[in-house]
Amino acid sequence: MCGIVGLFIKNKSMRDQLGALATPMFVCMGDRGPDSGGLAVFNEPTPESAQRWRINVFARNREYPWEPLIHGLRQTHPATDIVASSNHAILMTDQVPEIVARWLGEYDPMLIFLSTGRVMDLYKDTGHPRELAERYHFTDLRGTHCVGHTRMATESAVTPAHSHPFVAGNDFCLVHNGSLSNHNSLRRLLERRGIQFETDNDTEAVCRFLQWRMREGDTIEESLARGFEELDGFYTLLMGTPERLVLVRDAFACKPGIIADTPDYVAIGSEFRTLAHLPRIHEANLFEPVPEKIYSWTIA
């Protein structure tokens, strides 16, 4: 089944409430996806964020000892900061991510890189979304927009790596409700071009396909238009970039979605009940996204 949630803050003074507003949306959709979940959060871009990289790291051990890691990392890369909770850490550094990744790989080969970018953070793991929201303190998160997913797996394994959001490149994430029947041929098409995969999951193929098209120069609209031709299956897709939140449903539109547009925010969910707690929701312009139309919101 799976659940999708997205929140885009229009009113800048509400950006510190992003997590507080999005967490009940995410937890509610745990009904549609109780086996794993994830949330990508886009921090407000600043002059500082343009200079630093954010590397999100995941450890299998819930009580991971981050203190010795950061101590060691600072020996060679002094200008590195860390924000850690449980088995998740955000490293903020002036160094290019590849250099830090190499260091981390030598320090502990079991660490998993969730994402790299300038503004995006990514949390995901197996377990009920409620549990994840508490563990990672989602209510405290701030930012311009976020993309969340609660998974009820219908194909491929239930592991942290198979959880959504999927990422490709820097600061691009995608969540998916649905299933694809031609993801293996997409994967072969991309692998022939040297693109590497982390899982056998269908959504990862969509994510890497779209990011490949954008890297080749397509706009997100052009890459999605190409996706309409290439993707065989059912999908509601929600995507995040540093500037934009983008939503699309396939031609069949048999996976649900609802949009609430207000002067202060745009909220997206699989079902209305996930939006019901939002401020002034009853004054919102509520509508269902129509098939194959690209809905996009850009930060001011």
Partner 1 sequence: MSETFDLKTTTVRAINEHLHGLAPDATGVYEILNPNGSHNIAVGVDAPVEINIRGHAGYFTAGMNKQARVTVYGNVGWSVAENMMSGRVHVKGFASQCAGASGHGGLLVIDGDASSRCGISMKGIDIVVGGSIGHMSAFMAQAGRLVVLGDAGKGLGDSLYEAVIYVRGKIHGLGADARVEDLSEEDRTQIGELLEQAGLSARPAEFTRVASARTLYHWNPTSPQVSVL
**Residues designated as active site:** 2
**CB-hemisphere CA count at 13 Å for 87?**
16
Element (H, E) at 21: helix 18-28
Three-class SS state of 173: strand
Q: Which amino acid is at 189?
A: L
- The number of residues that bind partner 1 (CB under 8 A) is 17
CB of 288 to partner 1, least distance (A): 5
d(C-alpha 6, C-alpha 28), whole Å: 13
Nearer to partner 1, 28 or 210 (CB): 28
Instruction: For the beta carbon of residue 51, count every other beta carbon within 10 angstroms.
Output: 9
Residues 6+ apart with CB under 8 A from 114: 56, 57, 58, 88, 122, 123, 124, 167
Stretch of 12-20, 102-110, 181-189, 268-276 contacting partner 1, by CB under 8 A: 268-276
For position 290 contacting partner 1 by CB under 8 A, the verdict is yes
Q: Which of 169, 271, 294, 296 binds partner 1 (CB under 8 A)?
A: 271
CB of 282 to partner 1, least distance (A): 8
* 293 part of the interface to partner 1, by CB under 8 A: no
Q: Which is nearer to partner 1, 112 or 290 (CB)?
A: 290
Q: How far is the CB of 4 from partner 1 (least distance, A)?
A: 15
By CB under 8 A, is residue 288 in contact with partner 1? yes
- For residue 240, state whether it binds partner 1 (rule: CB under 8 A): no
- Tell me the window of 94-102, 169-177, 229-237, 276-284 that interacts with partner 1 (CB under 8 A): 276-284
CB 120 within 8 A of CB 174: no
**Nearest approach, Cβ of residue 1 and partner 1 (Å):** 12
- From residue 148, alpha-carbon distances to 41, 74, 216, 295 in Å are 9, 32, 27, 17
Q: Which one of residues 60, 62, 102, 273 is an interface residue with partner 1 (CB under 8 A)?
A: 273
**Beta carbon nearer to partner 1, 2 or 91:** 2
Beta strands in the chain (DSSP E): 3-9, 36-42, 53-58, 80-85, 88-93, 112-117, 120-126, 145-151, 166-167, 173-180, 233-240, 244-249, 258-261, 265-269, 285-287, 295-298
Name which of 48 and 229 has its Cβ closer to partner 1: 229
Q: Which amino acid is present at 62?
A: R
Is 253 one of the binding residues for partner 1 (CB under 8 A)?
Answer: yes
List residues binding partner 1 (CB under 8 A): 253-254, 256, 258, 271-277, 282, 286-288, 290-291
